[in-house]
Structure 1
Amino acid sequence: MTALGPEGHRKRLRERFLRSGLEGFHDHEVLELLLTFAIPRRDVKPAARALLERFQSLSAVLDATVQELTQVDGVGPHAALLLTLLPRLLERYHQDRWRTVTTLGSTRDAVRYLQGHLEAERKEIFCILALNSQNGLIAVERIQEGTVNRTAVFPRLVVEAALRHRATAVILAHNHPSGEPEPSAADRQLTRKLRRLLGDLDIAVHDHIILAGPRYYSFAERGEMD
């Protein structure tokens, strides 16, 4: 006999996940599954639907602050803490997975590494990957942080960071929290300026990568670094 009520629903959600992961789950069901670990015994469906109604998307729910989440009916501090923990846990996962990376041999290597540093950020961040002559990763350094839509990057800080790490090459990178990876005219102008300044110091700029969630734009892949 199929179990009825909240406990039966919780059990079915967990069994579905164990069988096939999140395949076939709607966003509200993903939230329901998560909330079962923070809200004991109660029906979690109203809270999950209220979260999506308030924030409009699963990603926006996970990007919300504890204070914002606890303003939603049915979401207490424990549930809010769990939801805000997940993006940070994902960031730590990527960082740990790529901690032993010594060589960035392709754009995809660089993108995967950068996602661990920038994917969960809600502000625009500009950073550089400092490389040695074998494309070995020396360091990743954040240069500037900005608002959701804009970061003002000072070329002098980029040059100083490259020199400080004794890099022979760098990869420039920043994120677009808007979700659109296409570079702006200012992005292209900055790339040209940094290539010129760093080139005068015999430091190559291999690429400029813009991350926007799972999507990215690579100047090198598009032939804009030739």
Structure 2
Amino acid sequence: MSSEVSSANGLNEAGGLFIAPALADKPHWQGHRDRLRTKLLNRGAGALDDYEILEVLLMAFIPRRDVKPIAKALERKFGCLSAILAAPAEDLLKVPGVGETVAAYIKAIAELHSRAAREEIKAREIISSWSALVAYVRRELQHEKREQFRVIFLDRKNQLIVDEIMGHGTVDHAPVYPREIARRALELQASSLILVHNHPSGDPKPSRADISITREIIDVLGPFDISVHDHLVVGTSGVVSFRTSGLI
């Protein structure tokens, strides 16, 4: 036995050789974490696969465990990153390895993403940043399991005042009250607005009921000189604009 080995190792009570912890092999996942961090820092987040991005997030709250199986399980259950971020906490908790801390962290990341997107559209005239608006409403609503009716209220400069949920319903219907939308628009001193709702079925094609309620809202707002710029219908396959479709 060399002096180097004998200084690091020793004999156990039974007289057998034991290896000092400092020289013992690291858990396989420890080396993987180190390599993943190095890849992220040296090559940028764009070099990581979706599940690897999830691993990096999970590593912060699961310090002594292989998190790759958890990341893969999240990806399998929800299908994509946007669906994971949109998932209710109770659904996240059903994934093996995801506890309350991890679920809360994922929801916090989702909220940061939403707030950053709102800041982007609030800082500019909505009409001139239409692609950012469409990306925002799609991110907010494409994975909603219940129909949600939202109204984006705008000022005279077509800048965002507030984005509010005005109706929350079932898988195929959300109650909408045109007079309540008018009351809120007057209260906020809005000059115009954009209607937004989702189709949980995934198909964003406007229904007859969608067209009818849009016309009712336009008629109610008309006497107050408040215009409806557009009505956006969101589905997993995309976003349909009433104005682009010739429905307004």
Unmatched 5+ stretches in structure 1: none
User: Which one has a larger percent helix, Structure 1 or Structure 2?
Assistant: 2
Structure 1 match to 2:195: 172
Q: How many residues align?
A: 221
- 1:21 matched to 2:45? The reply is yes
C-alpha distance in 2 between matches for 1:109 and 1:71: 33
Q: 1:43-99, CA deviations, whole angstroms, 9 ceiling, x for partnerless residues?
A: 112222333344444444333344433343323333222223221121122233444
Match runs of 1:119-158 below 5 Å? 123-158=146-181
Could you tell me the TM-score, scaled by structure 2's length?
0.72
Match runs of 1:26-175 below 5 Å? 27-101=50-124, 103-106=125-128, 107-108=130-131, 110-111=133-134, 114=137, 123-175=146-198
Unmatched 5+ stretches in structure 2: 1-25
3-state SS of the aligned residue for 1:105?
A: helix
3-state SS of the aligned residue for 1:182?
A: coil
Could you tell me the TM-score, scaled by structure 1's length?
0.78
Q: Which structure is larger by alpha-carbon Rg, 1 or 2?
A: 2
Following superposition, the deviation at residue 159 of structure 1 comes to 1.9
Following superposition, the deviation at residue 206 of structure 1 comes to 1.6
C-alpha distance in 2 between matches for 1:188 and 1:113: 22
Structure 1 match to 2:20: none
- 1:197 matched to 2:220? The reply is yes
Shift of the 178–59 alpha-carbon distance from structure 1 to 2, 3 Å rule, reads: farther
CA contact 2:147–2:169 (8 Å) conserved in 1: yes
CA contact 1:47–1:74 (8 Å) conserved in 2: yes
Shift of the 136–66 alpha-carbon distance from structure 1 to 2, 3 Å rule, reads: closer
CA contact 2:151–2:164 (8 Å) conserved in 1: yes
Letter matched to residue 22 of structure 1:
G
CA contact 2:182–2:220 (8 Å) conserved in 1: yes
C-alpha distance in 2 between matches for 1:23 and 1:180: 32
3-state SS of the aligned residue for 2:46?
A: coil
Shift of the 58–178 alpha-carbon distance from structure 1 to 2, 3 Å rule, reads: farther
Identity across the alignment (%): 39
C-alpha distance in 1 between matches for 2:34 and 2:108: 23
Following superposition, the deviation at residue 218 of structure 1 comes to 1.5
Shift of the 117–28 alpha-carbon distance from structure 1 to 2, 3 Å rule, reads: closer
Letter matched to residue 59 of structure 2:
T
Please provide the CA RMSD for this pair: 3.1
Shift of the 171–64 alpha-carbon distance from structure 1 to 2, 3 Å rule, reads: closer
Shift of the 105–97 alpha-carbon distance from structure 1 to 2, 3 Å rule, reads: closer
CA contact 1:123–1:146 (8 Å) conserved in 2: yes
Following superposition, the deviation at residue 114 of structure 1 comes to 4.7
CA contact 1:91–1:120 (8 Å) conserved in 2: no
